[in-house]
Structure formats: structure tokens, C-alpha cells
Amino acid sequence: MIGECLHNIRKLGGQIVSVTTDGFITDIENLEAKLLDLPEEDTLLLRKYKELRFDLSDCNDALELKSCSKGVISWTTSGHLGLGSDKIVASTGFQRGDYSREELIELFSATLKSP
């Protein structure tokens, strides 16, 4: 289903920043509704997942918005820092310790600009 979503995000003109085994980061708001506006043959897996989820939980939402941000600083698949969101922070191998969000933005921005 994620593969189908990624393919359709590109059709919708969206950008995909990162993909993991259970999710992805994209720039399309209200993504599920926009995907469901596409032809049914383009969203077969999404629609089937919605049916199955409803059968199991009485909820037919296929996609879960975990966080929203006005931007993302991203490096590799294991480094993301949401701009305007405290929930998007991931950096494999980096211990953030007592860094504030502002310090992390400054540090990662400077690092990405450096040689």
C-alpha cells in the first residue's frame, strides 16, 4: 500500500522526503482524500486497506498523520528535523542531549552547508 501511495503522490505532484517500513514524509495536505479522488484502479490497495481496517476496528482511515510541520531539514533516511514541529526529530547516531530545537536547527543547517 505504501508503494501505491508513493506512486500516486508523484502523480499528484507531491514530494516525498523519506520512506520507512510503516510510513513516509510528504508535502501533500489531506493526502488520503486526494488519493481517493484518483481513479479507483489507481488506489485498489488503499481502498482494500480501508475496508480491512474498518472490519477490524470500525475506523476506515487508511493514513495517520503523525505530525505536521512547515518544513523539514532532511539528510539521509535517518535524519529529519521538523521546522515548526516538536515531533519530527530523528538522527541516527546523534545524541541530541540538551540541545534546544533552535540549536538543532542552527547546528544541522550549518553542518549541511559546510564542506
Domain boundary assignment for the chain: 2-57, 71-113
pLDDT at 53: 94
- Which helix or strand (DSSP H or E) is residue 70 part of? none
Which whole number is the average pLDDT over 33-50?
A: 97
SS3 23: strand
CA 34/CA 28 separation, integer angstroms: 9
pLDDT digits (tens, 9 = 90+) for 53-82: 999 999 999 999 888 887 776 666 567 777
CA 108/CA 89 separation, integer angstroms: 12
- Amino acid identity of residue 75, one-letter, is W
